[in-house]
Amino acid sequence: MRRNTSISLLSVGHACVDIYQGSVAALVPFFIAERDYTYAVASGIVLAASLLSSVAQPVFGALTDRWAMPWLLPLSTLLGGVGIALSGLSGSYLLTLVFVAISGIGVAAYHPESARVARIVSQGSHRAMGWFSSGGNIGFALAPLMVTAVVAPNGLSWTPWLALPALAGTALCLPVVRALQQKQADGPGTTTHAGKDDIPSFVKLSLAVVFRSIAFVGLSTFIALYARQRLGGSEVVGTAALTVLYCGSAIGSVAGGSLASRWDRVTVTRWSYLLTAVAIAGVVWVPGPAIYLFVALTSVGLYVPFSLQVTLGQDYLPSRIGTASGITLGLTVSIGGLASPVIGSIADATSLQTALTPLVVMPLVGWLLFRNLPEPTAPRPEAAASSEADDTGVVPAQQSGNR
């Protein structure tokens, strides 16, 4: 199996997993309509998917720093799908929270290990990591379409059909898992890495990820409802806005990898955050159908740094690649979900427009945090990896942290 084949399989598998992150927000309008939830109560479902995930992802990351666990990819993919599949079957709010939390744990287990595996098989290429990240974002983009197609005409009782992508994702990642397990059979099973950690820079990076996360998850939770309020119309109007938000993310991830090959990652991310603040302001305040344009610009701006922040985190913590991946890749959704109930409460007390206004500030804080971040100057791994890669396109895990 060559490198491009491995990355392609991982990218599509990533899409199948992140469908379930996007499904949580896409299900919120249906929970409100069918069960008469308030904004705050419905946003608690997003919190359930995020709370355990935010804690679990660094834990799984730390475990993958100590032991290579590629078998987590198929297992966590199934878990993510099963949780969402069961979420619509019971009218009990508590059981709904439990099932969504199970899905969140599956997503948490998947991302640190998948980011480590993707870095190995991509040999550190920014473009390849961009495609891997874009796969997840495509899953986000497909989520509202899939949820609307299944749930809108049939009701929440049809959510078991949403498990189908999990089955497909499990099948797609198995060939890559087998290739890696074969490599591990010929060498150590641990994943130790060389290099000096830059903890202060990693902390600044992580804080920027948190504020970016609040902006994206806040919009993804409420943009469908907000678009319907601003434009009127049926659920299709809101679904279209959410789909634009997710589709722009796929474009942004690929663009980020290409831009980083021309300019450094810190510069690209800093400018992206600055432009994103302007775009979010347009979403909140510009009237009429132009909201779709500003939603698209916001999405691209928020996702240009997506894969760049993952590799920056890995380079700032080269001795703890899994932990870095769990925090930077996981926090993009997890911590943002913690803010959703606050946004929902403000919306219940005032209006959605008032509740979404603070999101304009979030990318500005990220821009400030990135102003003094250094760009890692260690050699790119492609040069070292090219001499060690074999016909499978996979390099030893011990080399994946060198940059």
pLDDT at residue 278, as a whole number:
93
Q: Distance between CA atoms of 168 and 179, rounded to whole angstroms?
A: 19
Boundaries of every domain in the chain:
3-377
Work out the angle between the directed axes of helices 39-66 and 93-122 (0-180°, nearest 10): 40
Q: Distance between CA atoms of 403 and 397, rounded to whole angstroms?
A: 13
pLDDT at residue 380, as a whole number:
46
pLDDT at residue 294, as a whole number:
93
Q: Which parts of the chain sit beneath pLDDT 50?
A: 188-192, 378-403
The DSSP line for 94-110 is HHHHHHHHHHHHHHHHH
pLDDT at residue 82, as a whole number:
93
pLDDT at residue 360, as a whole number:
92
pLDDT at residue 123, as a whole number:
67
User: Residue 17: CB partners within 8 Å, gap ≥ 6?
Assistant: 76, 77, 80, 106, 107, 110, 111, 114, 136, 139, 166, 169
- In three-state secondary structure terms, 396 is coil
**333-367 exposure pattern, b = at least 16 Cβ within 10 A, e = fewer:** bbbbbbbbbbbbebbeeeebeebbbbbbebbbbbb
pLDDT at residue 165, as a whole number:
93
Q: Distance between CA atoms of 27 and 310, rounded to whole angstroms?
A: 28
pLDDT at residue 362, as a whole number:
92
Nearest to 240, CA basis, from 222, 253, 227, 255: 227
CATH classification for the domain delimited by 3-377, as one of 3.90.700.10, 3.30.428.10, 3.40.50.12780, 1.20.1250.20? 1.20.1250.20
The DSSP line for 239-300 is HHHHHHHHHHHHHHHHHHHHHHHHS-HHHHHHHHHHHHHHHHHHHHH--TTHHHHHHHHHHH
